[in-house]
Amino acid sequence: MKNQSRRVFLQKISTAALAMPFVPAYGNENYSKSPDISDGPVLRVAIMGLGSYANRVARSMQSCKKAKITGIISGTPSKIKDWQSKYDIPEKNCYNYENFDEIKNNPDIDAVYIITPNALHSPYGVRVAKAGKHVISEKPMGINAKDGQAMIDACKQAGVHLLVGYRMHFEPKTLEVIRMRKAGEFGKVLFFQGQSGFIIGDPNQWRLNKALAGGGAMMDIGIYSINGARYMIGEEPIWVTAQETKNDHKKFKEGVDETIQFQLGFPGGAVASCLSTYSMNNLDRFFLNGDKGFAEMQPSTGYGPIMGRTHKGELTFPHVTHQTIQMEEMSEIILQGKQPEVPVDGEEGLKDLKIIDAIYLAVKTGKKVNI
């Protein structure tokens, strides 16, 4: 896309540039700035796309000791000025979408966190990689598996890390359920149910624009149930079936899904039954069933606190701000080679995109699709 057309493109979406799927928050987050002390090297991060979720990430990073905001990239000058004063960012570390390739010459920036509409994740991730900086992409990391593979290839060629914003992979109660499953405390896993949905508002926002979002609810909230099925069961699905329901054709135009129910089959025999929707609230629940026990999480992916119980009782780990611990952990992954309990790399993101591609194909054909 040429510079002029890209500028027009971004101006059209700037009023709704909220890159992260909206998930209802349960409880209040406490954003307190921690002392400027680190137990190790500090990851210097530029935030790309200064919408609602970027603001949440930035507030959360004020409590980080191993990650710090040192740059910003935005197509809106007023946002740049606001962020400069709020987070003490020098002018030389501020960029727009036309000139951000110049970060290659900026030693103050180690990584760029891309928090833009879905369709921009991959092309901008490729540009960041070519500039020699590590890439952190919000999920999904593209609008299809081809997009995801392009970003993986670019990061490999440039020798930089590619991470995806899977904040739940660091959440304590989620990790405890995964630990219990690995320890065999649920026995043979038989079934997973994932319910992910909310009633979406403004019909003109980018999430309801296929060109920017890549789809509808599945590309936003549905990915939580896909990813959750994988880390709760501990296997990769081998087939999918799916059915779409659309009642509001004016709001949900061609290619923008309102509600999809989908089923996943796993090699060990477990099955998953999931719901992704933009037309129902109170849907944020995971349930895992094995022949020796169960785990239920509700809310399962909201900003917090996550609530969970198993056949052994309530999960009582204290709530942590998801984005704070995510950025602390990502700093250690990039700078110190730490291996997370659940992967957050590009290959992890690509697996979800391949499943999404298969779900859309199953909806279109009405047939079981092998993955």
Residues carrying an active site annotation: 139, 224
**Parallel, antiparallel, or unpaired for β 162-164 and 271-277?**
unpaired
Contact 42, 109 (CB under 8 A): no
Structure tokens that stand for 265 in this block:
């089959």
What is the C-alpha to C-alpha distance for residues 159 and 237, in angstroms, rounded to an integer? 30
CB atoms inside a 10 Å sphere around CB 289: 18
Phi and psi angles of residue 275, each rounded to the nearest 5 degrees, phi first = -130, 130
Name the token pair of 163: 């991470």
CA–CA gap between residue 175 and residue 183 (Å, rounded): 12
Q: How many CB atoms lie within 10 A of CB 269?
A: 11
DSSP letters of 103-146?
Answer: GGG-TT-SEEEE-S-HHHHHHHHHHHHHTT-EEEEPSSSSSSHH
